[in-house]
Amino acid sequence: MNRGSARPVAAPGGGLAGARHVAIIMDGNGRWAKARHLPRVAGHRQGMEAVRRTIRAAGELGIEALTLYAFSSENWRRPADEISDLMGLLRLYLQREIDELDRNGVRLRLIGDYGKFAPDLVAQLEAACARTAGNTGLTVALALNYGGQDELVRVARQLAEAARAGSLDPADIDVDLFDECLDTAGLPPLDLMIRTSGESRLSNFLLWQAAYAELLFTDTLWPDFDRAALEGALADFGRRERRFGGR
């Protein structure tokens, strides 16, 4: 990633360099820990600190929405003890950060089939969303038990059931209607997707939403991601010409 030498200046109309909605695939916790001969959970703990830094920076930089890939539908394949650690860290994050998030005007939102988590964690997540629902600052969407293919299947099933019930004419299904049925309905269109740790794939994240998003892959491991890294990504975004297929 080329961060440039000059400090970027926030642009009007949606954050630094004009990005309104940024999504991040937070990858590299395990490699960060392995490089330091630490257990994987240590990497996840440092990753939680990176979440804190990034949310704070995103709000200060004027981004409207930040979507974080916190737990994918494929992450259930990981060892049971690692999943338990991740769930524990999510609980701890909510306990530690909810006051600051609320005080800073952050609105929490959930996407994905998070209802499959333990009932107490679901209750904690929903309570945090309810507490911050009236805030008007940065919206942070946590993708929990989320998979892009699963999201598209759920929308297709919802529309098919409506058509079968006679409440929807299949001829009325278009891009706008489909978009309104997605987990991200109401958020600004996705401008920029960042993936850390050097991997160059979407990993089943926001497949519909990423249709015309700019993609940025950085070698930075997620626990090392900070404000400077976010500013660099947004500066890179600002140098790109977005044509949306027009020419």
Give pLDDT tens digits for 126-175. 999 999 999 999 999 999 999 999 999 999 999 999 999 999 999 999 99
pLDDT at 244 over 90: no
In the set 27, 183, 191, 236, the catalytic residue is 27
Q: Is 72 annotated as a binding residue?
A: yes
Q: What is the DSSP letter of 141?
A: E
Q: How confident is the model at residue 13 (pLDDT cuts 50, 70, 90)?
A: very low
27 as an active site residue: the answer is yes
Q: Is 30 annotated as a binding residue?
A: yes
Residue 70: partners with Cβ closer than 8 Å, 6 or more residues away: 26, 90, 142, 143, 144
Q: Is 74 annotated as a binding residue?
A: yes
Check residue 9 and give its pLDDT.
36
pLDDT at 246 over 80: no
Check residue 242 and give its pLDDT.
78
Length of the chain: 247
Output b/e per residue, 128-165; b: 16+ Cβ within 10 A: beeebeebebbbbbbbbbbbbebbeeebeeebeebeee
In the set 75, 104, 135, 204, the catalytic residue is 75
Q: How confident is the model at residue 240 (pLDDT cuts 50, 70, 90)?
A: confident
> In order of start, what are the domains of the chain with their CATH numbers?
21-146+180-238 (3.40.1180.10)
Look over the chain and give the mean of its residue pLDDT values, rounded to a whole number: 92
Q: In the beta sheet, which residues pair with residue 214? A: 192
